[in-house]
């Protein structure tokens, strides 16, 4: 088995991470590598937004505003972005193109996000891709400074891997059930 295949097969989401997080200088080469995903016409229809410190508090406030909550429920929602000291906003940036439809550009942005998460994990960081019902709300869009042709895909929550992390048992996938040929009627 190749090293890459082993890394991908052992990938997991880390729902809890420590306060330790990679510095910007450590992120930059990983972003450059993630940019190597398939990208029809080299549109680079994506960008990443780094949220640290009070940015996470502002995100919590925007989520609460979007949800219209008050009291304990608001406090619980506002605390969610504080689960990691680094969040990376994942943005699909739809470019004008006669050749590349919006869905394909979104797929490229999602590919960058997933590859970036794999690279972060390979570098020793715990990562979880999170979203929710308010990801594309107006208060959250405003906070991230999204243009009209941009959509937020969620956030990577990034931090250290706790020593008490439990192994995850995942159901194996039957690859034959997902790799098929054309139906007989189509051939």
Q: Please report how many Cα atoms fall inside a 13 Å half-sphere around the Cα of residue 49, on the Cβ side.
A: 21
Domain boundaries, the chain: 13-161
In this structure, what token pair is assigned to residue 13? 């989401």
In the prediction, which pLDDT does 187 show?
Answer: 60
Q: Closest Cα to residue 136, out of 74, 78, 77, 91?
A: 91
Determine the CATH number of domain 13-161. 3.40.109.10
Q: What is the pLDDT of residue 2?
A: 86
pLDDT tens for the 187 residues of the chain, in order:
788 888 888 888 899 999 999 999 999 999 999 999 999 999 999 999 999 999 999 999 999 999 999 999 999 999 999 999 999 999 999 999 999 999 999 999 999 999 999 999 999 999 999 999 999 999 999 999 999 999 999 999 999 999 887 777 788 899 999 999 999 876 6
Q: For residues 98 and 45, what is the distance between their CA atoms, to the nearest angstrom?
A: 14
Which residue from 124, 126, 132, 145 is spatially nearest to 51, judged by alpha carbons? 145
Matching residue, tokens 């940015």:
55
Neighbours of 3 (CB within 10 A): 8
**In this structure, what token pair is assigned to residue 181?**
């040929």
């Amino acid at each position: 088995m190749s090293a890459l295949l082993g890394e991908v097969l052992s990938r997991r989401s880390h729902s809890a991470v420590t306060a330790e997080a990679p510095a910007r200088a450590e992120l930059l080469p990983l972003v450059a590598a993630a940019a190597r995903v398939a990208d029809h016409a080299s549109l680079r229809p994506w960008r990443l937004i780094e949220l640290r410190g009070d940015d996470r508090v502002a995100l919590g406030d925007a989520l609460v505003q979007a949800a219209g909550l008050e009291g304990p429920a608001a406090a619980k929602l506002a605390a969610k972005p504080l689960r990691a000291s680094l969040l990376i906003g994942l943005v699909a940036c739809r470019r004008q193109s006669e050749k590349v439809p919006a869905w394909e550009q979104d797929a490229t942005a999602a590919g960058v996000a997933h590859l970036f998460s794999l690279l972060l994990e390979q570098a020793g960081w715990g990562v979880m891709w999170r979203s929710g019902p308010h990801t594309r709300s107006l208060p959250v869009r405003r906070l991230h400074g999204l243009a009209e042709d941009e959509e937020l895909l969620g956030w990577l929550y990034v931090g250290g891997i706790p020593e008490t992390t439990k192994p995850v048992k995942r159901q194996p996938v039957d690859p034959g059930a997902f790799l098929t040929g054309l139906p007989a009627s189509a051939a």
